[in-house]
Amino acid sequence: MWRACGALRTGALALARPPGTRACGGGGDISYTQGQAPEPRTREYFYYVDHQGQLFLDDSKMKNFITCYKDPQFLVTFFSRLRPNRSGRYEASFPFLSPCGRERNFLRCEDRPVVFTHLLASGPGPQRLSYCGGGEALAVPFEPARLLPLATNGRLYHPAPERAGGVGLVRSALAFELSACFEYPPGASAQPSHVRWQGRRLALTMDLAPLLLATPPP
């Protein structure tokens, strides 16, 4: 698996800083080298996910659609193994870790490590939200009543896998579509109280708010 992870990363490494260059991570004063070996047969790489769910090498010179990772196999491998970083290394600057064999893949994020990008087409079962470019392989059941519109930043959140923090960000384009389903109470309230979905009127539970506020984004 180590060899496979490295093979899928090769193209993006060319878009990052030259090998051996020291770079600053999320904390600004944290230095690292992509592919560094802190111990024999162990490699470390550093990544960043933006508010659109695009994954980059953290020290990529430019972060846009051209330079982000697009290989579904790599994205599924990376995000399916994501967990809190309790490795004892870079925990403050890179709060999540995706191990792959003897590789440590550290991740920091603009907002949340899971970003929902697509509402998958209805099938025989419940609808699902896909995240971070993984299609059907990275998806959770869509729970419209648990959508959380956050007035402080204008963003929308939805339950995510527990190992990835329990709360995911909804990409802005998808959030705009879903916001048309919200209902607001009488008066000047900026916070919706209900959502209409597939002919049902559902009260928003707001149960994600304590979890989101307890773990503020970097």
Q: Does pLDDT of 152 surpass 70?
A: yes
11 or 65, which is more confident: 65
The reported pLDDT for the residue numbered 10 is 54
Same domain as 100, residue 191: no
Mean pLDDT of the chain: 87
The number of angstroms, rounded, from the C-alpha of 195 to the middle of its chain's C-alpha atoms is 24
**Final residue belonging to a domain, choices 109, 135, 154:** 109
Q: Which of 81, 109, 137 is the last residue of a domain?
A: 109
Beta strands in 85-170 (DSSP E): 96-100, 103-109, 115-119, 128-131, 139-141, 148-150, 155-159, 167-170
Amino acid at 204: L
> Looking at 88, 109, 130, which one is the last position of a domain?
109
Instruction: Give the model's confidence band at 215: pLDDT under 50 very low, under 70 low, under 90 confident, else very high.
Output: low
Total-model pTM: 0.86
| Residue 174: half-sphere exposure toward Cβ, Cα within 13 Å | 23
Count of structural domains within the chain? 2
Are both 87 and 132 inside the same structural domain?
no
**What pLDDT digit, counting tens, does each position of 77-110 carry?**
999 999 999 999 999 999 999 999 999 999 999 9
The per-residue pLDDT for range 176-185, each reduced to its tens digit, is 999 999 999 8
Structural domain for 105, as ranges:
2-109
